[in-house]
Structure 1
């Protein structure tokens, strides 16, 4: 069974044993070194002791004073005491061994016996001198023996020190080897096994496992690796099937997206309901591999379905079910269950002349066509075999049905827009004719009646007057017609409204001969084209009023670009009373105000008699022409084929 200790615990144990061995070796080495230092000092002190003996003997023979000899005697005694007890401060101590102890005792005994010969009080005769010299020579010999013994012990300690140094070197080598072994065994070997197993795993050998021989970190890592390898082996065993399944799913989604894109492109380009519906069913049948497709449109009451388009449907069914009452068969029942359904066709035993099963059709897919939660119709796909729809195909059918509903709605909105535009143009034309030409013609009619009356009375001056009025009226009518034609020919410039105004001003100058100046200030994003058209008509109407009523000599048109925009038409004509001018019978002002309200702008007219007139049109930067009635109306009625 593997060890349960962690790697950290193992490394700490190994380090503690190595530290203990190294610390012990260092301690012994320090002790030996201390002994050597103290022994060397003891050898020096013993050598000094020999010199002291000879100095003491020489002082006796040289007739040195008693005090000096006493001092030398005391110094020698102190040296012996110092050798006996040692001196830690130097350090000095004798490496005592039995042999050294014996020889020191011999030196000390000899000194105690012979010290009286060097007593300063002893007589200095020849006999004593000879005895003292012999004693000194004997004492020095004993001291030499002591020094020799100490040196022998120091030599032994030196050998021990050398041995310890060798042992420490050996411990360092052994410690390094031990740490390498420990790292190799507890770290490198598990790592190598894991790395080798990982390399096998990378090459696809998912059956690779690592033996967990311990419960330490590497044992836990090995267990985790084995679990990972087992998981990968299980996943890889299913990977190919999953990849293949995912690839098929992605390919189906890509095909569905491509189908939706192609269908959207076709529907956006179709310009009529017949082209749209027939092209839709053809593309749908090809994409879903159906044997036949029918597109039916419901009336507003959901009582019957009109066969709007079909592809590859048997002629008998097309003829019999061109208008299909709801509930007559499985077709035309989307109002009951508004979801895509797969229906198995079975003979219902009815006496109908045409039956789908009689013509070999076995399965039908019914797809409701809805817009804003309102049922518009249904799509029927027929198959001569059993069919199973997956989720992707259901989503595709629902999306295509939604595209069809939006496309039909778009066609209807376009038709409404065209009708509205035509109606607006007709209303504008009628209003312009009524407000200008019709009034002029009414005036001419009155003048003709007055002329007839004058002729009947043979009143020649009155007749001539009425003829002049008729001539002026005809000129006014001709000018109004030309202005109206100019209005119809007006085109906005999407890039710059000032260019369109310049064209209008140039035509006005050409027609009237008045001096007109156009000025532009500031910069801003251009107004929408439809808003520009309304602004141009307001400016044209203001210039028309100048021609008709102002009798001006100079006209200035100013454009202030910004938020909001401002368009100013200023003349130096006769002007008029504002209060009178607000009468609804003043046709020009009413027309301009109506156009201003249409785009959400504000029209301001400032004038006074003999002070000229200033017309200011203030247009917000977000001005827009309202959408015509009919936008957003959902298709509910059966469309005309």
Structure 2
């Protein structure tokens, strides 16, 4: 029943009740009920009907009103998040990208080893901040597309957010997830999601893979996340290269949570593992 229908029912039920009662009383009950008794019974009947029917309608109307207020509040939050995401993208993210290009030009111009080390440090910082900003933009926009009343990162399961990242990737990636969402803290969700996003980007841009796999396992409290692809892999340890900023940042994120990172090449596949409490399988 709609909000408008409820309002009309609240107005019409007492009126119709009085009308029907007066008609029945005058047409059929006058020989049995006196005029004074009938006058006393009229408000009693209206009261009983109001308590049984109209009160329920009022409750429904209040419930609908609360739902509308929640929807308005959620819409306001989503609009503000979208506005903030746009401002981050148009302002900070583009400025950081320009700064990254300028530092890269500086790197090409300067060949001294000491200067190159400084440039690498600057580029790493810029790269890290740029990824933080873009991650914030992605989180804001993902949550803004959610239909939940309280659009927060913690309100959406990590499994679903990984699925969204995969959905935005042109390369087919199979997801197999066996870890309950409540075993992660809010910080772990944010950090793991950032690492997984970086891993998926690497599969798409650097590995030149045609297929990827993501698997989450929880064996007796030891949690492991495996990202695998059939790309071209690597010939030297990527962690020894200074310009692999994404991998270095990923390793630092996991280390801060006491998680481990392992990157290996096995049977023409590249395997990246995040594991907790030293578990390597």
Higher RCO (C-alpha 8 Å, min separation 6): 2
